[in-house]
Structure 1
Amino acid sequence: MPDEVKKILVTGAGGFLGYHMANFLSDQGYTVTGMDVHFPETTPDGSKPRFQTVHSDFRKWEVTKKALEGADIVYHFASAHLQISLDEAEYWDINVRSMPTLLKAAKAAGCKRFIHVSSVGAYGKLTEIPANEETVCHPQSTYGETKLAGEQEVISTCKELDLPFVILRPAWIYGLGCPRTAKLHRMLKKKRFIMIGKGLNKRHPMYIKDMLKAFRLAMDSDPALGETMIIGGDQIITTKELVETFSNKLHIPGPLITLPYQVGVILATVVETLFGILGKEPPLSRRTLEFFDTDNGFDVSKSKRLLAFTPQYSFKEGVEDYAEEFSRL
């Protein structure tokens, strides 16, 4: 399919993953249109979008239909994600109810393949590790619930429309430009990072450069059609190991404060309530506590097999590459 692809639409192209993906595809010679409500005014490396930008909510259907004209491939990254203050109904509208209309518009425009970006957040707290695509999901949050329901809308609607599709569930992606990576780096550097609990819960990291290659392969792999796949690195590590690796590779101190988990829950509840009254996003919330209590570890053999994909970076190598890129800023 690569030789046949002329134009690609990337929704959510103002976010970390979508922005990187749109630039990555553009660099490979594709005509790329990126759509989002906001695009970053500045990026860590000072780069500008190397693709055509459309400033719009994808639910403004007349704008979206125009952006879809001639698109052979759609990468759908746009979603309600970490906005604590966002109304629950908006999560359902963005992540679920909008899907049939978007898919019908893509089909009408002649789209050859729809690549839907979901999340391992759909699983919730795992009771067995590693989990795989057959593991039953028990979402812990509105975000997880709506990402899972969004997948189901994609499957049913695409089958109804006879629209080829692939569903990707990325694990914990990190790299330059990632808000979570930047926050972890900043808090460690300022000696403000607080470890909540013992940090023994499992994390499944994947470096952004590996993710881009895996997502690119989803565009032309026929065995991947109609499949849901977890995209992750080769290593499952603990949160403690994750934080220590960032500290070591960035040559900054590790956490100076550790709080018992229950104390962290109380603190997060208080902070979330106070910032909610002020109408601001809280620096700590019950949602962000998932970093310290949710186990994420997955069997990624399906995506390796169907996409013919092998991660190039170990976790330490990925953090080293990130540290090197950061040092050049």
Structure 2
Amino acid sequence: MKRVCVTGAGGFIGHHLVTFLKERGYWVRGVDLKYPEYTEVDADEFELLDLRRWDAALQAMRGVDQVYALAADMGGMGYISTHHAEILRNNSLINLHTLDAALINGVQRYLYSSSACIYPEYLQTEADVVPLKESDAYPAQPQDAYGWEKLFTELLCSYYADEYPMETRIVRFHNIYGPLGTYDGGREKAPAAICRKVALAEDGDSIEIWGDGEQTRSFCYIDDCVEGIYRIMQSDYAKPLNLGTDEMVSIKQLAHMVTELAGKRDISLEHVPGPQGVRGRNSDNSLLRKVLGWEPATSLRDGLVPTYEWIETMLTSRDRV
């Protein structure tokens, strides 16, 4: 039985990945600062460890064959645009310690979770953006500290694989969403935030949208995400790969889609000042299809249905308490 460690296992993608790996017969150690908030622990072992500490990283990496490194200080645009120093410091410590501890403990293969935030601002100034290819990362100009930290660690993983006896894999996430994820408190991302606002609104109400709503993104459903992570880990491809969809929508279109799915057709959008990130971003999946013979298949509409239903249920249950 192959033994793996998933860092960030208390987070959204991490706990979904733990479940996915357990269903496929892996022995899994989950590591995080916290337990999963909305579901039970599926891991064989779950250790509460602060991977900013070297001793914690060494403990986490012991006795495993593979590591899925998902641990990160992160959140939606409201969070990552206002916590640059904290994010850069925390994530740099997590990544340096985890990677080095994995090498020392004899880990065979290490997957690093990067982000579409590594792509240059100068390629994302228009809403009708050209889909971003993996090779577009350089010349580098990420928008925020979060993107710089991710890009730096991609390079570090590549150098480790070149110079040490440990293989690395790199996945660039494009806006992952779905049930059992953060939906309030400031760290939630756009789909969850809009689902929450619509669920709380009555017909005739308005919901707030940051900016004019014309900024564009593509969104990847969590089930596709964890399958993609697993396929990339099993592949022989060591360079970065996008993991997202190429179904680009504006934030305004996303909001209208959620209100329609909720059956609330008389909700208006109130445009307010707020951080918007880059003007447009979309994933080019050409290389992903070539390497894996696969790409995410869940449409945004199909993925929003269970996402909205879960968030609505959580809000209803909370109100009853």
Q: 2:305 aligns with which of 320, 323, 328?
A: 320
Q: Quote the Cα distance in structure 1 between the aligned partners of 2:233 and 2:270.
A: 44
Q: 1:30 aligns with which of 19, 26, 32?
A: 26
Any unmatched runs of 5+ in structure 1? 269-285
Q: Does 1:79 align with 2:72?
A: yes
Contact 2:68 2:112 (C-alpha < 8 Å) held by counterparts: yes
- SS of corresponding position for 2:196: helix
TM-score when normalising by structure 2 = 0.82
- Residue in 2 aligned with 1:198? 212
- Residue in 2 aligned with 1:276? none
Residues 43-102 of structure 1, C-alpha deviations (whole Å, 9 max, x = no match): 1xxx30110211011133333323322211111111121356986444233323553442
Residues 92-142 of structure 1, C-alpha deviations (whole Å, 9 max, x = no match): 333235534422221222211110001111125414411111113421212
The 5 Å alignment of 1:283-322 reads 286=275, 289-290=276-277, 294-322=279-307
Q: Quote the Cα distance in structure 2 between the aligned partners of 1:323 and 1:239.
A: 16
The 5 Å alignment of 1:23-172 reads 23-40=19-36, 42-43=37-38, 47-51=39-43, 52-82=45-75, 83=79, 88-125=84-121, 126-127=124-125, 128-135=129-136, 136=138, 137-172=140-175
The aligned length equals: 292
CA RMSD of aligned residues (A): 2.5
Q: Quote the Cα distance in structure 1 between the aligned partners of 2:73 and 2:312.
A: 32
**Equivalent position amino acid for 2:196 in 1:** R
Contact 2:61 2:98 (C-alpha < 8 Å) held by counterparts: no
Any unmatched runs of 5+ in structure 2? 183-188, 315-321
How far the C-alpha of 1:255 sits from its partner, in A, is 5.0
- Residue in 2 aligned with 1:258? 270
Contact 2:196 2:312 (C-alpha < 8 Å) held by counterparts: no
In structure 2, do the counterparts of structure 1 residues 162 and 24 end up closer, same or farther at CA, with 3 Å as the change threshold?
Answer: same
Comparing 198-207 with 96-105, greater Cα deviation is found at 96-105
Among the aligned pairs, what percent are the same residue?
Answer: 27
- The structure 1 segments of at least 4 consecutive aligned residues displaced by more than 6 Å after TM superposition are none
How far the C-alpha of 1:216 sits from its partner, in A, is 1.0
Q: 2:197 aligns with which of 174, 183, 187?
A: 187
Q: Quote the Cα distance in structure 2 between the aligned partners of 1:214 and 1:108.
A: 27
In structure 2, do the counterparts of structure 1 residues 33 and 242 end up closer, same or farther at CA, with 3 Å as the change threshold?
Answer: same
Contact 2:196 2:311 (C-alpha < 8 Å) held by counterparts: no
- SS of corresponding position for 2:295: coil
Q: Does 1:231 align with 2:231?
A: no
**Equivalent position amino acid for 2:300 in 1:** F
How far the C-alpha of 1:209 sits from its partner, in A, is 0.7
Q: Quote the Cα distance in structure 2 between the aligned partners of 1:257 and 1:240.
A: 8
TM-score when normalising by structure 1 = 0.80
Q: Does 1:247 align with 2:247?
A: no
- SS of corresponding position for 2:294: coil
How far the C-alpha of 1:257 sits from its partner, in A, is 3.5
- SS of corresponding position for 1:33: strand
In structure 2, do the counterparts of structure 1 residues 120 and 85 end up closer, same or farther at CA, with 3 Å as the change threshold?
Answer: closer
Q: Quote the Cα distance in structure 2 between the aligned partners of 1:98 and 1:326.
A: 30
Contact 1:103 1:158 (C-alpha < 8 Å) held by counterparts: no
Q: Quote the Cα distance in structure 1 between the aligned partners of 2:53 and 2:93.
A: 14
